[in-house]
Structure 1
Amino acid sequence: MSGGGEGPAAPVAWRLERHVALPSTADLLAARAESGAAEGLAILAGEQLAGRGRAGRGWASPPGNLYLSVLLRPASPAREAPQWSLLAAVALAEAAGAVLADPAAVRLKWPNDLLVGGAKAAGILVESALTATGGIAWLGLGFGVNLAHAPALPDRPTATLGGVETPERFAARLLQRLGHWVSVQREGGFAPVRAAWLRFGPGAGEAITVRGLPQPGGFAGLAEDGSLLLEIGGRRQAIPAGEILSQGNDRGNARGNAQGNV
């Protein structure tokens, strides 16, 4: 991501739209983006009737949880799009930690799952469209957060943030932190975002299993571009994208770059 030298970055001017129910906040955001909506549009739904994640996976969306999609138009090349997932995850982790009695219970699973006490409490969907020259025309960040309800999953535990805030209040909190990190990125590049993600990420050497790799690897940080670094068989390997099957004591099936049911 490109960095500073041009003075303080202008803050994102959020414009929050509230809907009682929508088929999908991500679908509406994409339609608005394609129609030329300006950066800062945020769409909040009290309920999603056809919530979706990556590859058409369903997303259970009962009333009381957060369903929020936001529009950004970063001046970035397409190769940097995955980094925005990590930026969104940092903002989400900070917002979640602010409402929990034990902020230390918040952890991140690469690249964009939020865990509370080791159980999945939120996910992020990142979608984008490209310009003719290979830049990002628009970027949509979708957040699904278990504020009050934790829909059951067959392959992993789920958790909530305790129901202490309404979706509207949590959306405002999340947008504030997201705006902060967008400004940080625009002034200082990806390095401070990467450092912030590592504060919430796995511990050094924590075992991580990735689909397609012959054996688990030990967490060795993030590469400068946000790729996952693993120590496998005495060698360090960079994973730019992938499906994480387990992390530490979590035996769930968290999908990289996916917003599935939480």
Structure 2
Amino acid sequence: MSSFPVGWRLLVHDQLPSTADLIRERAEDGEAERLAVLAHRQTAGRGTHGRAWESPAGNLYLSVLLRPASPAREVPQWSLLAAVALHDALTPWAGPGLALKWPNDLLLKGAKCAGILAEASLSTAGGLDWLALGFGVNLAHAPAVPGRRTASLPAPAPGPEEAAAAVLAALDRWRALREAQGFAPVRAAWLARGHLPGAALTVTAAGAPLKGLFEGLDDTGALRLRTARGLETVTAGQVEA
């Protein structure tokens, strides 16, 4: 078993329907933060927008519970923080070629190798009651995703426990930095690992696809896109390069 950062409580399951579902249940039951759930296999894994997440043994399926003192509007910032932490955690094994795709994907040489699922519940005062971050990483296998190229880490890839320990340590580092300095360092780190300035992007959300050139992130973490209509801000959607 890998050494986990002090303060985390890790539950390891051989198989679960979904680590995200178990974290949600624990959160709603009042579990304290810094709980992590790892499953070696999932039978009903899910990604963003309710998409199924194929979960063969050998990959990482990890969900964590946090209770940050943040307003609800900052959930997207925590998703970006999680992406930066995941990038940093996997870089020693992946080497060059890792990049972030807004808002919640990690690419290896342009192919999807990981995704992040952020879910939250609000308190009666309008803040966060709890925040759950789910990490699905193709460590050893790259299941097919319709319409997408996929990749796994180069061999020898870490095992799930080793990768989970690295992710939790990176989360701790970036959370401490955010608490000390705010969102600005996280935003800067994401921009250094994300889309190149001026990259042509297409964002699909509820309406028609929006095409434009990437002009960074605003102070909230929203995507800035230079379109034929001018500079537009996108708060949600699926990005294609």
Check whether TM > 0.5: yes
Q: Is the 8 A contact 2:59 2:140 kept in 1?
A: yes
Q: Is the 8 A contact 2:17 2:43 kept in 1?
A: yes
Q: 2:191 aligns with which of 174, 187, 198?
A: 198
Q: Is the 8 A contact 1:12 1:40 kept in 2?
A: no
Structure 1 outlier segments of 4+, above 4 Å: none
Q: Equivalent pairs: percent with the same residue?
A: 57
Amino acid at match of 2:196: G
Name the SS of the counterpart of 1:98 in structure 2: helix
Name the counterpart of 1:67: 61
Counterpart CA distance in 2 for 1:116 and 1:65 is: 15
Give the count of matched residue pairs: 234
TM-score, length of structure 1 as denominator length: 0.86
Q: 1:165 aligns with which of 149, 155, 158?
A: 158
Q: 2:123 aligns with which of 131, 144, 155?
A: 131
Shift of residue 33 of structure 1?
Answer: 0.7
Counterpart CA distance in 2 for 1:63 and 1:233 is: 46
The correspondence of residues 215-234 of structure 1 with structure 2, limited to 5 A, is 215-233=210-228
Q: 1:40 aligns with which of 34, 39, 44?
A: 34
Post-superposition CA distance 1:142-191 (Å, at most 9, x none): 00000000001220110001242000100001110011011111111111
Counterpart CA distance in 1 for 2:6 and 2:224 is: 32
Counterpart CA distance in 2 for 1:214 and 1:90 is: 26
Counterpart CA distance in 2 for 1:80 and 1:195 is: 16
Higher relative contact order (CA 8 A, sep 6+): 1
Which ranges in structure 1 are unaligned for 5 or more consecutive residues? 1-10, 248-262
TM-score, length of structure 2 as denominator length: 0.93
Name the counterpart of 2:179: 186
Post-superposition CA distance 1:196-251 (Å, at most 9, x none): 0001111110000012356521010000000000111262111111222x11xxxx
CA shift in 2, pair 1:196/1:12, >3 Å: farther
Name the counterpart of 1:53: 47
CA RMSD of aligned residues (A): 1.4
Name the SS of the counterpart of 2:42 in structure 1: coil
Counterpart CA distance in 2 for 1:214 and 1:125 is: 22
The correspondence of residues 58-137 of structure 1 with structure 2, limited to 5 A, is 58-100=52-94, 102-103=95-96, 105-137=97-129
Name the SS of the counterpart of 1:27 in structure 2: helix
Per residue, is there more strand in 1 or in 2?
A: 2
Counterpart CA distance in 1 for 2:6 and 2:215 is: 33
